[in-house]
Every structure is written in C-alpha cells, then in structure tokens.
C-alpha cells in the first residue's frame, strides 16, 4: 500500500499543477505527471492508471472552461467524441498485452515533423481558416481521431498536441479553438482509458485524487490564460512542449 506523507503530497501537488497548466493549452502534461508518479517508485501500470485518474480530472476541468467560453465546435465534438473514446478503449486494452516500445520510434518521427512544420509556418494556427465539416475533413478526421485516441490509451505522451495539430491543420481552426476541441477529445480518451484501468485494478485512488485536485487549479488557470492571450501564447508553448517531448522520448529510446 502506497502511503502519503506531507512531502509526497506537496510533490504531487506541484507537478500536478504544472502538468495540468500546460496540458490544458497544448497537451503534453503527461510528460510531467507520469514521470513524477514513476519517480515515487510506483509500478508502471499503476502509474499509468493513476495518471489517467488525475488527467481525467484535469481534462474535464479545462474542457468545461473552454466550453463555457464558447471556444469549441459543438457539432464536430458530437461526432468525434465517441470516436476518441472507442479508440482509447481499445488502445488501453492493447497496452496491457503489448510493450509500448514498439510504437515509440514512430511517435518521435511524427512529433519531429509536427514541430518543424509549426516552426516553419509562422502563421500556422494564427487565424481561423475553417474548412467546414466536409467529406474530406471528416473522412480524415474520424480515422485520425480514432488513431490518436488509440495512441492515448496505448502510450499517451503528446496526445493533446496531436489533437490540437489535427484541429488546426485539417479543420482550419486557430490554436485557441483547436486547443478547446483537443481538450474535449482528450477527455473522451482519458475517460475510456481510466475505465479500463479501474476495471483492471490498476489505479491508486488516493494518489490520483491528490494530484488531481492540484490539476483542477492548473487546468482552469491554463485554459483561461490560453483564451485570454490567444495564439501569441499558445503557439510558442506548443513548440516548447513539442521539443521537450521529443527530447525526452529520444533520451529514453537511447538509454
């Protein structure tokens, strides 16, 4: 049984707040929260499940904030929310059987391409260039949402960033609305994944709730700042999180 003392509670609160603040804007919060849990000596599968509990609290909070401010597309979310949910459900079932190392090199390549594309195109995500819900956008959007949802259940880091990138590049939203849509889809994948981990008994509820409470505050502040400051804040943060995530994945792959 994992026991919490004051120093551990403060540790979980600090890393949970920072992770949720970043995750609510551009994704990548798992880059901070999951290593923090592993650093406490928690078994990897329990760390994944516990992180999903805290992450679900974070994504629910940030999603509610974006929705309350109208920074999302309701019609599109009604279509893609269940797709992300089903993808993550299958992904989490799979991760209990297949080592995540198989997919890691591919994810690194994808993150590198996204980073350089965003860096090169300075106006990317600056303005809304909405393409609408066409056969083309939905024809690509549905399978891509399923794949990203599956990835979140299977491995996780960078899921929010992938959703934001898809919303901006494929559907033509600016970074703020893209972030709002991305958080809602990430909530779907988190809920599905969390359900599987709870069913399998791989969640430390006290630890997850302790980190999750701090995430509530971080997610609210991060989402409000993203809406208030707009693209000039979200785009640089997206690039910083992307390159940090790439560096971490490359380091872990080589070690």
Question: 19-65, pLDDT tens digit by residue?
Answer: 888 777 766 677 778 778 877 878 777 888 898 999 999 999 989 98
Structure tokens at 172: 């033509």
pLDDT in tens, 85-131: 999 999 988 877 766 566 556 656 766 776 676 667 665 545 556 66
Band of pLDDT at residue 139, cut at 50, 70 and 90: very high
Count up the domains in the chain and report the number.
Answer: 1
Q: In the predicted model, is pLDDT for residue 180 greater than 80?
A: yes
Range of 238's domain?
6-254
Has residue 1 been placed in a domain? no
In Å, how far are 50, 52, 154, 159, 243 from 110, measured between CA atoms? 27, 23, 16, 12, 12
Q: Answer yes or no: is 23 within a domain.
A: yes
Contacts of 8 (CB under 8 A, 6+ apart): 40
DSSP the chain: -----HHHHHHHHHHHHHHHHHHHHHS-THHHHHHHHHHTT--HHHHHHHHHHHHHHHHHHHHHHHHHTT-S-HHHHHHHHHHHHHHHHHHHHHHTTS-GGGTHHHHHHHHHHHHHHHHH-TTTTTS-----S-HHHHHHHHHHHHHHHHHHHHT-TTHHHHHHHHHHHTT---HHHHHHHHHHHHHHHHHHHHHHHHHTT---HHHHHHHHHHHHHHHHHHHHHHHHHTHHHHHHHHHHHHHHHHHHHHHHHH-
> Considering the entire predicted model, what is its pTM?
0.80
Count of CB atoms situated within 10 Å of the CB of 55: 33
Residue 233 falls within a domain, yes or no? Answer: yes
The answer to whether residue 46 is domain-embedded is yes
In a domain, 22, yes or no: yes
Residue 218 within any structural domain of the chain: yes
pLDDT tens string 186-200: 999 999 999 999 999
């Amino acid at each position: 049984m994992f026991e919490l003392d004051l120093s551990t509670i403060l540790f979980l609160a600090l890393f949970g707040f920072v992770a949720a603040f970043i995750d609510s804007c551009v994704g990548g919060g798992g880059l901070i929260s999951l290593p923090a849990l592993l650093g406490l000596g928690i078994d990897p599968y329990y760390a994944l499940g516990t992180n999903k509990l805290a992450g679900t609290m974070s994504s629910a909070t940030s999603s509610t904030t974006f929705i309350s401010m109208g920074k999302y597309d309701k019609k599109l979310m009604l279509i893609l929310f269940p797709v992300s949910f089903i993808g993550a459900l299958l992904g989490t079932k799979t991760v209990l059987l297949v080592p995540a190392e198989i997919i890691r090199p591919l994810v690194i390549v994808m993150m590198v391409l996204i980073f350089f594309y965003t860096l090169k195109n300075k106006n990317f995500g600056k303005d809304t260039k909405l393409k609408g819900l066409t056969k083309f956008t939905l024809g690509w959007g549905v399978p891509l949402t399923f794949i990203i949802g599956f990835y979140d259940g299977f491995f996780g880091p960078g899921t929010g960033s992938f959703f934001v990138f898809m919303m901006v590049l494929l559907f033509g939203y600016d970074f703020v609305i893209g972030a709002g849509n991305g958080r809602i889809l990430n909530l779907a994948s988190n809920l599905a994944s969390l359900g599987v981990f709870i069913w399998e008994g791989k969640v430390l509820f006290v630890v997850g709730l302790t980190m999750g409470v701090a995430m509530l505050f971080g997610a609210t502040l991060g989402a409000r700042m993203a809406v208030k400051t707009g693209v000039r804040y979200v785009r640089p943060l997206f690039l910083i999180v992307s390159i940090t995530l790439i560096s971490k994945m490359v380091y872990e792959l080589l070690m």
